[in-house]
Amino acid sequence: MRIAVPNKGRLHEPTIDLLERAGLHLENGADRKLYADTVDPDVSVLFARAADIPEYVADGAADLGITGYDQVREARVDNVSELLDLEFGRCRLVLAAPEDGDIESVADLEGGTVATEFPNITADFFADTGVEPDIVEVSGATELTPHVEMADAIVDITSTGTTLKMNRLAVVEEVLASSVRLFGREDVLEEPKVDEVRTALSSVKQAEGKRYLMMNVPEDRLETVRDVIPGMGGPTVMDIADENGDDGKVAVHAVVDERDVFETITEVKKAGASDVLVNEIERLVE
Ligand SMILES: Nc1ncnc2c1ncn2[C@@H]1O[C@H](COP(=O)(O)OP(=O)(O)OP(=O)(O)O)[C@@H](O)[C@H]1O
Ligand SMILES: O=P(O)(O)OC[C@H]1O[C@H](OP(=O)(O)OP(=O)(O)O)[C@H](O)[C@@H]1O
Ligand SMILES: [Mg+2]
User: pLDDT digits over 175-210, tens only?
Assistant: 999 999 999 999 999 999 999 999 999 999 999 999
- Residues 47, 11 contacting (CB under 8 angstroms): no
Q: Whose CA is nearest to atom 24 of ligand 1?
A: 9
Which amino acid does the sequence have at 186?
E
- Tell me how far apart the terminal alpha carbons of the chain are, to the nearest angstrom: 24
| E-state strands within 167-264 | 169-178, 180-185, 210-218, 236-239, 249-257
Average pLDDT of span 236-247: 74
Give the Cα separation of 174 and 177 in Å (integer).
Answer: 8
Q: Whose CA is nearest to atom 28 of ligand 1?
A: 68
Question: Of 111, 118, 124, which Cα lies nearest the Cα of 151?
Answer: 111
ipTM of the complex: 0.95
Ligand number with the minimum distance to the CA of 8: 1
Give the Cα separation of 134 and 239 in Å (integer).
Answer: 72
Answer whether 92 contacts ligand 1 (Cβ < 6 A). Answer: no
Q: How far, CA to CA in Å, does 14 sit from each of 20, 23, 101, 113? A: 10, 14, 38, 35
Q: Place 244 in a pLDDT band, splitting at 50, 70 and 90.
A: low
Please tell me the predicted confidence (pLDDT) of residue 230: 80
For residue 56, what are the contacts with CB-CB under 8 A and spacing of at least 6?
A: 4, 46, 48, 62, 65
Q: Whose CA is nearest to atom 21 of ligand 2?
A: 157
Q: Whose CA is nearest to atom 22 of ligand 2?
A: 163
Q: b/e string for 43-58 if b means 16 or more Cβ within 10 A?
A: bbbbbbebbbbbbbbb
Average pLDDT of span 122-150: 96
Please tell me the predicted confidence (pLDDT) of residue 226: 92
Q: Place 255 in a pLDDT band, splitting at 50, 70 and 90.
A: very high
Give SS3 for 142: helix
Q: Which atom of ligand 2 is nearest to the CA of 159?
A: 1
Measure 140 CA to ligand 2 centroid, in angstroms: 9
Structural domains of the chain, ranges and CATH numbers in brackets = 2-89+179-207 (3.40.190.10), 91-177 (3.40.190.10), 209-280 (3.30.70.120)
Q: Which atom of ligand 1 is nearest to the CA of 89?
A: 5
Measure 145 CA to ligand 2 centroid, in angstroms: 15
User: pLDDT digits over 13-33, tens only?
Assistant: 999 999 999 999 999 776 668
Instruction: Count Cβ atoms within 10 A of the Cβ of residue 119 and give its class: 0-12 exposed, 13-18 middle, 19 or more buried.
Output: middle
Ligand number with the minimum distance to the CA of 157: 2
